[in-house]
Structure 1
Amino acid sequence: MKYPDDLDPELVARLVESGGGTLTRKMGIEFLELGADRSVATMPVEGNTQVIGILHGGAHVVLGESLGSISSAIHAGPGRIAMGIEVNATHTRAVSSGIVTATCTAIALSRTLATHEIVVRDEEGRRLSTVRITNILKDRPAP
């Protein structure tokens, strides 16, 4: 996985240990590149479909929210956390097989908020959905 050299070591440890979280692992999401401004991940369609055999809309959202939340946590920095406060998705094309790739790009990064757009594409590069997430950034509570 590619990530910035100055990434918070505690965040790296949590990502490596958890694989991005239980749901992320169950869905087969693989992080390829992580950063505050840009992140990339893939996910198989198989195992993440809805009843008529196409990639579930909720799977698009999980993929997008996973990338946007990690990118926001990277931006927040050491001793801080990112918590999602809004997410939405527009699905524009269906896919029934293969691997999808999501690319997360920062829209706005400030001290208290981070907003990202995540575009999910099929193996031919066609846009399947657009996810937008806003995270609030806060100091990590004392243990």
Structure 2
Amino acid sequence: MTDAASPSPFRSTATLADLNALSAGTAMVPLGIVFTERGPDFLRGTMPVDERTRQPYGLLHGGASVLLAETLGSTAGNLCVPEDRICVGIEINANHLRGVRDGVVTGTARPLHLGASTHVWEIRIEDARGRLACVSRLTLAVVPRTTQ
């Protein structure tokens, strides 16, 4: 979505360490999801393919891929909004293109649309050899941050 002449869509200066610290007590920890890179217009993370993320036939579980995709897309979306707003997922789809049996998958979230009330993110998940395993599209609602 951005090019060299475009400013980064990210407003937040949160570091990878900050983002990974937010994972404490979430589904990300037991699945081994880690944020690994933040670029000018993308957020990247990894997830192991092992007994935590495989389905009974030995392949990466589609639900685990979707959890990685939504984690990356929603976190990236939240880096783009003012502090009084948050992004929450309202729709996600995923096409599983290649089975992965082991190793680590890497997901990269990039914005397709950053509006005032909705965002659309594309998340591409690749195997350790760089082959596309899953492509997902996530729609986020931008809503007021509330205190609990």
TM-score, length of structure 1 as denominator length: 0.86
Amino acid at match of 1:18: L
Q: 1:91 aligns with which of 88, 96, 106?
A: 96
Give the 5 Å matches for 1:70-81: 70-81=75-86
List structure 1 runs of 4+ shifted beyond 4 angstroms.
none
Identity %: 36
Secondary structure of the structure 2 residue equivalent to 1:76 = coil
* Contact 2:43/2:72, CA 8 A, preserved across alignment: yes
Q: 1:54 corresponds to which residue? A: 59
Distance verdict in 2 for CA 1:76–1:120, change over 3 Å: same
Question: Please, which runs of 5 or more residues in structure 2 have no aligned partner?
Answer: 1-8
Q: 1:112 corresponds to which residue? A: 117
The answer to whether residue 32 in structure 2 is matched with residue 42 in structure 1 is no
The answer to whether residue 32 in structure 2 is matched with residue 28 in structure 1 is yes
RMSD: 2.3
Distance verdict in 2 for CA 1:5–1:130, change over 3 Å: closer
Question: Please, which runs of 5 or more residues in structure 1 have no aligned partner?
Answer: none
Amino acid at match of 1:43: M
Distance 1:60 1:135 in 2: 18
Distance 2:104 2:65 in 1: 12
Shift of 1:33: 2.3
Q: 2:128 aligns with which of 118, 123, 141?
A: 123
Distance verdict in 2 for CA 1:27–1:142, change over 3 Å: closer
Distance verdict in 2 for CA 1:113–1:5, change over 3 Å: closer
Distance 1:20 1:116 in 2: 24
* Structure with the bigger percentage of helix: 1
Shift of 1:138: 1.3
